[in-house]
Structures are given as structure tokens and as C-alpha cells.
């Protein structure tokens, strides 16, 4: 496939946009080459500026769980736009989607809508600190909760030291209140609690990690975190920006049977438009202004176009009894096919999957945290990415990102992908 138009557009973009992109992973730095510029999309397919058709396995990094340009969402946005695009005032639509979301997700009474997953996670941390009257938080290496200062932290020199900023612009003062733990390592988390008694406001975690590839929680890990939080008066925050309304109607809380104190959402809840949200029980949410002292606001929060899109997406997932089973079956089929081809071609690999999230790691050791994810053969991944791209298949342009499966994929699409994997990896 040729990508001349994309190359030209990227060169033009670099003159006026930092790095030519508005989000770094789009720049293809991890895999080399020139980003693909999309012209349109429908169902399971992308159509780029050069006229190429690509089977899409990122689906806007998760929101397009029912496919691109899903008709109920598109029609709802069009009809709402005719009535006005933004008011900065309440609408009945906000209450309607809030009621539906609360009915679908366990252990929440109220929800507040914002404009991104980053904003949702940032607000959840502020709420947790205000509610507990504590400053410190625990996050896990390799989990991404957006680019708020509190989350751009790298490891300190030991298991119980403070983190350090890993981006210029993040202050040491911010970093000192963020403690970094190892994913799936309960003992490490317990050490942090022991070293910081009565100081930790919250643990925030992706219940299924998606930013070091797909990494599931080991059996009992989430439940043990719940127990540690209860014991120490600490809130447990599930960042369900990826997993919410994707792994089950009630997200990871429902799937794993573990209750979180605060849950954050994004991606699917917006139906493809910029929406985030955070939710909790009444006693926590009532700490938010205007009821309580914790301030959070946003001019475009609850934007009618975004609420219309999100409402139609949640309605579709709520009423379709078989959607999550179909997603599970399609992703399992894809996993089985890829596994067979990689094995036949003598490739060292590990595949992780939870529901409709899946990733291929080019290392045969189990991938359970950032350290083990980092052992993958990145040169293999680069060949894999570009090989599939030439076959008309678009996966995440980074070995550290999960794939997101859409229900719009057919079994013919999956078979085509499996055959492409076979063809590409035969050349390794």
C-alpha cells in the first residue's frame, strides 16, 4: 500500500502542530514511518487519505465498540446539533444519561460528566484527597491515567521511596505525593502503606491495564487491594476509562466482583465524542461543589452533542443482551488464530486478553507488569506492525498499547487478519 498523501499531510502538519500530531502516540515514534491520515471510517474499517481500506483494531482507542459511524449515534448528534451545540446550562439529556449509567454500574449513586478521561481521573484524585483529608496517592507503574501532573511520575530509587517527575513541568512537590507501586505485586503495595501510615488518600488503578499492552489483574489482586484500602481508610479508584462499558455493562467492577469507591470513565461513555465521567456513592460525590467543598467545573461538561452520542451508545449496550458475549467470542477466535500462526512460525510470544481487549507481546515469559512488558522484542513488533499495515490491518503503533475489538468486525475480517499474521511472521 502507498501512503503518499499521508506523508504529504504529515509534513504540512509538522509546521504548525508540535510533532505533527495532537497526541504523541499517533506520531509513529515507537514503530517508525509516517502516521496514517484518516479520511473516513465506517463499521470495522478506516479509509485513509490515499484511498486505502484498513481493518481497524484500535477503534479510536476504545470508544467504537459497535463500530465507526454507528448510525444511532450519528443520527442523534445530527438532530441535537440542529437544536444548538452548547449552552453552558443544564439539559434534561444530562440527567437521562446519568440515570442510565448509574443503573448499569454497580456501587455508584451519582456521576459527574467532564470532557476527557484525563479530566475524570484528575477530578477523582482531588475528590479522594478532599474526602479523606489526606495528600498521598498510590499509582502503578505502567498504568496511564491521563497527563495530569499527579500521574506523570516515574519510580524512585527503591520500593518505598517517593516518585520523581518523568516530564518537565511536573514539580517535585507534586511528585512527592505520588507513590509508585508494581502492578500485580500486593507485597509492594503493603510496603507503601506501612511506610506512609494514615497518609494515603487513594489507590488508583486500571483494573485491566491497557497502556503496557493488555495486562489482567492476577487472581485475587483487586480484592486484596480492596481489603488493604478498607483496613487503612483509603479509597480505591478504578480507572475504567478503557474497561468501563466494554468488558461488561458494569465494567470491571461487575466482571471481577470487586467494588471501587470512585470509578472514572471515558471512551465508550462518549460514543466517540470527547466525554469523561467520574462516579461514586452519595457520601463521596456530595463532597463536590456545589454541595461540598471540593471544586470541579467545566464550561463544556455535559455538552449536548457529547451527551446525545453517549446516551445512544449506552442504550445500545444496555438493550443488546448478547453484545458482550459476541465481543468475547470474536476476540477469543482472533486470539486462537494468532496463537496458532505464531506457534507454527516459531515466534516467541505471549498473548494477553480480557474480553475484547487483547495484545501480542514478543516474549515467551508471562507479562504481568511494566517490567515484564518491557522485555518484548520491539524490533519484532515494528516488523509486525508495518507488515500488517501493508496487508491492510491497523493495530496500535506501539507495543505498549492494547488492541480494542469492535462488534462490527466479521469473522471474515478476523480470518483475513489471522492469515495476514501468518504471512507477516513467516518473514521474521
Active site positions, annotated = 144, 239, 267
Burial (Cβ within 10 Å: 0-12, 13-18, ≥19) of residue 89: exposed
Q: What is the rounded CA–CA span in Å between residue 210 and residue 144? A: 8
Return the C-alpha cell found at 250.
458494569
Can you spell out the DSSP letters for 124-149? HHHHHHHHHT--EEEEETT----S-G
Can you spell out the DSSP letters for 170-181? --HHHHTTEEEE
Q: What is the rounded CA–CA span in Å between residue 339 and residue 349? A: 8
Q: Are strands 262-265 and 276-280 parallel, antiparallel or unpaired?
A: antiparallel
288 close to 297: Cβ distance less than 8 angstroms? no
Query: DSSP 3-state helix, strand, coil percentages of the chain (rounded to 5)?
Result: 40, 15, 45
The DSSP bridge partners found for residue 165 are 153
User: What three-state secondary structure class fits 68?
Assistant: strand
Number of H helices, E strands in the chain: 14, 16
User: What three-state secondary structure class fits 310?
Assistant: helix
Phi, psi for residue 100 in degrees, rounded to 5: -65, -45
Return the C-alpha cell found at 368.
504481568
Can you spell out the DSSP letters for 233-289? T-EEEEEETTTTTTSSTTHHHHHHT---SEEEE-GGGGTTSS-EEEEE-HHHHTTBT
CA distances from 398 to 58, 180, 384 (A): 11, 23, 11
User: What three-state secondary structure class fits 42?
Assistant: strand
Amino acid at each position: 500500500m502507498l501512503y503518499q498523501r499521508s506523508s504529504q499531510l504529515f509534513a504540512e502538519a509538522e509546521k504548525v502542530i508540535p510533532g505533527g500530531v495532537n497526541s504523541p502516540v499517533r506520531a509513529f515514534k515507537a514503530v517508525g514511518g509516517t502516521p496514517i491520515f484518516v479520511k473516513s471510517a465506517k463499521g470495522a474499517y478506516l479509509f485513509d487519505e490515499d484511498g486505502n481500506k484498513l481493518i481497524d483494531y484500535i477503534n479510536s482507542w476504545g470508544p467504537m465498540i459497535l463500530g465507526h459511524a454507528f448510525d444511532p449515534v450519528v443520527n442523534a448528534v445530527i438532530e441535537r446539533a440542529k437544536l444548538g451545540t452548547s449552552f453552558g446550562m443544564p439539559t434534561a439529556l444530562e440527567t437521562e444519561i446519568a440515570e442510565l449509567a448509574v443503573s448499569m454500574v454497580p456501587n455508584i449513586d451519582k456521576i459527574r460528566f467532564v470532557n476527557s478521561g484525563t479530566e475524570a481521573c484528575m477530578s477523582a484524585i482531588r475528590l479522594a484527597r478532599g474526602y479523606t483529608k489526606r495528600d498521598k496517592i498510590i499509582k502503578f507503574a505502567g498504568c496511564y491515567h491521563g497527563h495530569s501532573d499527579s500521574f506523570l511520575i516515574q519510580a524512585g530509587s527503591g520500593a518505598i521511596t517517593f516518585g520523581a517527575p518523568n516530564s518537565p513541568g511536573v514539580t517535585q512537590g507534586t511528585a512527592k505525593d505520588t507513590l509508585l507501586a508494581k502492578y500485580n505485586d500486593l507485597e509492594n503495595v503493603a510496603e507503601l502503606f506501612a511506610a506512609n501510615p494514615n497518609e494515603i488518600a487513594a489507590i488508583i488503578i486500571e483494573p485491566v491495564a491497557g497502556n503496557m499492552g493488555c495486562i489482567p489483574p492476577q487472581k485475587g489482586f483487586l480484592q486484596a487491594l480492596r481489603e488493604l484500602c478498607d483496613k487503612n481508610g483509603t479509597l480505591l479508584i478504578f480507572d475504567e476509562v478503557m474497561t468501563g462499558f466494554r468488558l461488561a455493562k458494569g465494567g470491571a467492577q461487575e466482571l471481577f466482583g470487586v467494588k471501587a469507591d470512585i470509578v472514572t470513565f471515558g471512551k465508550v461513555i462518549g460514543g466517540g465524542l470527547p466525554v469523561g465521567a467520574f462516579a461514586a456513592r452519595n457520601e463521596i460525590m456530595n463532597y463536590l461543589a456545589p454541595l461540598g467543598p471540593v471544586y470541579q467545573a467545566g464550561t463544556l461538561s455535559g455538552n449536548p452533542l457529547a451527551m446525545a452520542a453517549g446516551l445512544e451508545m449506552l442504550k445500545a449496550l444496555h438493550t443488546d443482551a448478547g453484545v458482550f458475549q459476541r465481543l468475547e467470542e470474536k476476540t477469543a477466535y482472533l486470539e486462537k488464530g494468532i496463537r496458532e500462526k505464531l506457534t507454527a512460525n516459531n515466534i516467541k510470544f505471549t498473548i494477553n486478553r480480557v474480553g475484547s481487549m487483547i495484545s501480542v507481546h514478543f516474549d515467551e515469559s508471562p507479562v504481568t507488569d511494566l517490567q515484564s512488558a518491557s522485555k518484548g522484542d520491539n524490533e519484532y513488533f515494528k516488523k509486525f506492525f508495518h507488515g500488517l499495515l501493508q496487508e491492510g490491518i491497523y493495530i496500535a503503533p506501539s507495543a505498549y498499547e492494547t488492541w480494542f475489538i469492535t462488534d462490527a468486525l466479521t469473522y471474515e475480517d478476523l480470518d483475513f487478519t489471522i492469515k495476514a499474521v501468518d504471512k507477516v511472521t513467516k518473514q521474521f
